[in-house]
């Protein structure tokens, strides 16, 4: 109940959850904080919640800690092993999906949402549904084009599920984890593949502005 969401209760929750899942807990805490602020602004709830937002306390904030920058990326020397392992994944759709994230630098969710109408084979372009700008068009390179051309067209999604109708694949991170284990690479997430695109373009001395434009970062 709202009346029981006091500062001590929230601080105790933050102390407990901060020990095992600080990232998820920080998100939940921010949402709770915003929700309680909203309640205070509406007469039907404002009489129940405290005058001061009980989630906005120093103890809760400190218990959850500060987010640390993720550092998981592929090294140039790890590329042969990673590609070899990923190419042997039994599901060709998941194999192509993982390679496409690395080779386009797009967000995992953006790649997952690619539809066949977003693939321009005539002018070699990919239309990415950008979570920031709406959409952006990036080059469809020859290797990625070849990857996509071999995929079955089960539904409107490029990386279509073979189990669900009208849906993309699910939980491709498990296949990535297994491939990384085979290649001897530790703790590489799907978003780490996107980060790898940026770090590897630095090795190739690609202009930073070009990389930002391809990845959908603010200039």
**Contact between residue 155 and residue 166 where contact means Cβ atoms under 8 Å apart:** yes
Q: What is the pLDDT of residue 121?
A: 94
Q: What is the pTM of this model?
A: 0.75
- Give the Cα separation of 98 and 124 in Å (integer): 20
Written as six digits, the tokens of 21 are 């899942």
Model confidence pLDDT, tens digit, residues 81-138:
999 999 999 999 999 999 999 999 999 999 999 999 999 999 999 999 987 778 999 9
Q: What is the pLDDT of residue 218?
A: 75
The angle formed by the CA atoms of residues 26, 29 and 30, to the nearest 5 degrees, is 90
- pLDDT tens by residue, the chain, 219 residues: 988 999 999 999 999 999 998 889 999 999 999 999 999 999 999 999 988 999 999 999 999 988 766 679 999 999 999 999 999 999 999 999 999 999 999 999 999 999 999 999 999 999 999 877 789 999 999 999 999 999 999 999 999 999 898 999 999 999 999 999 999 999 899 999 999 999 999 988 999 999 999 999 876
Q: What is the pLDDT of residue 44?
A: 92
Q: What is the pLDDT of residue 219?
A: 65
Q: What is the pLDDT of residue 166?
A: 92
CA distances to 42, 113, 119 from 156, rounded to whole Å, are 43, 10, 11
- 13 Cβ neighbours under 8 A, 6+ residues apart: none
**Contact between residue 214 and residue 105 where contact means Cβ atoms under 8 Å apart:** yes
Backbone angles phi and psi of 131, in degrees to 5? -75, -15
């Amino acid at each position: 109940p709202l009346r029981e969401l006091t500062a001590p209760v929230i601080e105790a929750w933050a102390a407990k959850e901060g020990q095992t899942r600080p990232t998820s807990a920080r998100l939940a805490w921010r949402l709770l904080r915003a929700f309680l602020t909203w309640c205070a602004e509406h007469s039907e709830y404002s009489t129940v919640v405290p005058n001061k937002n009980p989630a906005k306390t120093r103890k809760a904030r400190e218990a959850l800690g500060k987010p640390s920058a993720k550092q998981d990326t592929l090294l140039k020397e790890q590329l042969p092993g990673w590609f070899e392992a990923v190419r042997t994944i039994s599901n060709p759709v998941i194999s192509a999906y993982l390679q496409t994230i690395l080779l386009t630098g797009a967000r995992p969710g953006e790649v997952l949402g690619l539809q066949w109408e977003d693939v321009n084979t005539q002018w070699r372009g990919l239309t990415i549904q950008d979570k920031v700008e709406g959409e952006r068009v990036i080059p469809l390179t020859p290797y990625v084009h070849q990857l996509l051309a071999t995929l079955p067209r089960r539904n409107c999604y490029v990386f279509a599920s073979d189990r669900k109708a009208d849906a993309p694949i699910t939980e491709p991170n498990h296949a990535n984890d297994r491939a990384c284990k085979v290649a001897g690479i530790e703790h590489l997430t799907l978003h780490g593949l996107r980060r790898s695109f940026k770090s590897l373009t630095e090795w190739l001395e690609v202009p930073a502005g070009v990389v930002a434009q391809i990845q959908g970062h603010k200039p």
